[in-house]
Amino acid sequence: MKVLVAVKRVIDYNVKIRVKADRSDVDLTNVKMAMNPFCEIAVEEAVRLKEKGVATEVVAVTVGPKSAQEQLRTALALGADRAIHIETDERVDSLAVAKLLKQVIDEEQPQLTILGKQAIDTDNNQTGQMLAALTGLSQGTFASKLEVQDDKLAVTREIDGGLQRLELTLPAIVTTDLRLNEPRYAKLPDIMKAKKKPLETKSPEDLGVDIASKVSLLQVETPAERKGGIKVGSVDELVDKLKNEAKVIS
């Protein structure tokens, strides 16, 4: 079984986001970038399926600038067998990514495609769902457990109020939730080996996809500074402050 994993290069989750002075976008100058955490979980799950003998090949794919190859090399160091880089310097929105990934699925014919449930930069949470709609494949979003049985995939999903178990017919698209697994760290020898693993570069034109966005980014603002809280000495003082200072009760 071939598994395709989509990984996105995003700002490292530890970095405090800065907005450009002209508010046109987030400032990426000298900012540490990393693989989106939900994509790390996707790679880990694919590699575990390979280690269990369920998957035969793990292919990592990304859409982004040349620098996004770093994240593909990370995926290769974590255990992916080869990588596909769809190179573009344009800002690509979810629909364009989904259209490109559909072309990759048409060419590669993976039995399972794993994406993160959301990218932590734009928080869109829509690429996997769009990809399932475009390909017509079954989808299990927010997976916290995956079990492959022949041509079926049981997906346990985290939903409000509990867990839902779905049975999908393969080929299928899955998006990962936080509790699916705990990703491993890449070991130095594996980082070295990853440099020699195959990485193929294509352009959106090679795949016949127009990535022009129908969405314009107008302005980016930093959230308003939050004021520090206070401790009150008694319920009476709390009620007084809610009435007379916050004016949220009368």
Show Cβ contacts of residue 30 under 8 Å, excluding neighbours closer than 6 positions.
none
CB of 98 to ligand AMP, least distance (A): 8
Q: Which of residues 187-246 bind ligand AMP (CB under 6 A)?
A: none
Q: Output 42 or 47, the one with its CB closest to ligand AMP.
A: 42
- CA pair distance 219, 25, nearest whole angstrom: 7
CB of 122 to ligand AMP, least distance (A): 5
Contact between 86 and 105 (Cβ < 8 Å): no
Q: Is 71 in the site for ligand AMP (CB under 6 A)?
A: no
CB of 229 to ligand AMP, least distance (A): 32
Q: Is 64 in the site for ligand AMP (CB under 6 A)?
A: yes
Residue closest to ligand AMP (Cβ): 116
Reading the block at residue 144, the tokens are: 């916290």
Contact region with ligand AMP (CB under 6 A), list: 4-12, 47-55, 191-199, 227-235: 4-12
Helix orientation angle between 69-78 and 37-51, rounded to the nearest 10 degrees: 30
Beta pairing partners, 63: 86
110 cis-preceded (ω within 30 degrees of 0): no
Q: Is 63 in the site for ligand AMP (CB under 6 A)?
A: yes
Task: Give the interface size with ligand AMP as a residue count (CB under 6 A).
Answer: 23
Binding-residue pattern over the window 14 to 53 for ligand AMP, x denoting contact by CB under 6 A: ----------------------x-xx--x-----------
Show Cβ contacts of residue 99 under 8 Å, excluding neighbours closer than 6 positions.
134, 209, 211
Residue with tokens 């590669």, as numbered in its chain: 108
Q: Is 142 in the site for ligand AMP (CB under 6 A)?
A: no
CA 227 to chain CA mean position, Å: 32
Beta strands of 99-137 (E only): which ranges? 112-116
Q: Is 73 in the site for ligand AMP (CB under 6 A)?
A: no
> Which residues of the shown chain bind ligand AMP in the complex (CB under 6 A)?
6-8, 36, 38-39, 42, 62-64, 92, 94, 97, 115-116, 118-119, 122, 124-128
